[in-house]
């Protein structure tokens, strides 16, 4: 069963394109090469036009030998957060049995 990482990344007002471009570039260049990365999708928040949401799926940490599921995703988002100049919020979740 996959682990899902949900990240909310607020951008500076009117500057959502900067962290969005960076996230897309990082995912395109680094995502497929990371062991356990299954893919991700970026979303806009309809009532908050300066907020991006990334939902990424990862193999469970035990299945890929890593200590923390979603750690690579969070690293990408931390880089984008530096560009955005705002703190981000990440949640690592899994489906209920």
Edge-first strand order for the sheet with 37-45 is: 37-45, 48-58, 3-10, 89-94
Confidence label for 66 from pLDDT (cuts 50, 70 and 90): very low
Q: pLDDT value at position 50?
A: 87
Sign of CA dihedral 34, 93, 63, 71: positive
pLDDT tens per residue, range 19-44: 788 778 877 877 777 778 888 898 98
Find out whether 35 and 64 touch, Cβ atoms under 8 Å. Answer: yes
- Number of domains the chain is built from: 1
Q: Which whole number is the average pLDDT over 45-63? A: 84
CATH number reported for the structural domain that contains residue 84 in this entry = 3.30.70.100
Q: Determine the structural domain holding residue 27 and report its residue range.
A: 3-94
**Torsion angles phi and psi, residue 32, rounded to 5:** -60, -25
Q: Looking at the predicted structure, is the pLDDT value of residue 80 above 80?
A: no
Sign of CA dihedral 53, 59, 64, 65: positive
């Amino acid at each position: 069963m996959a682990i899902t990482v949900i990240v909310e990344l607020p951008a500076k007002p009117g500057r959502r394109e900067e962290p969005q471009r960076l996230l897309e570039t990082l995912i395109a260049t680094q995502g497929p090469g990371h062991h356990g990365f299954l893919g991700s999708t970026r979303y806009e928040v309809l009532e908050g036009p300066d907020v991006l949401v990334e939902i990424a799926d990862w193999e469970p940490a035990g299945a890929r030998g890593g200590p923390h599921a979603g750690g690579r995703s969070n690293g990408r988002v931390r880089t984008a957060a530096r560009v955005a100049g705002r703190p981000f919020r990440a949640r690592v979740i899994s489906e209920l049995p």
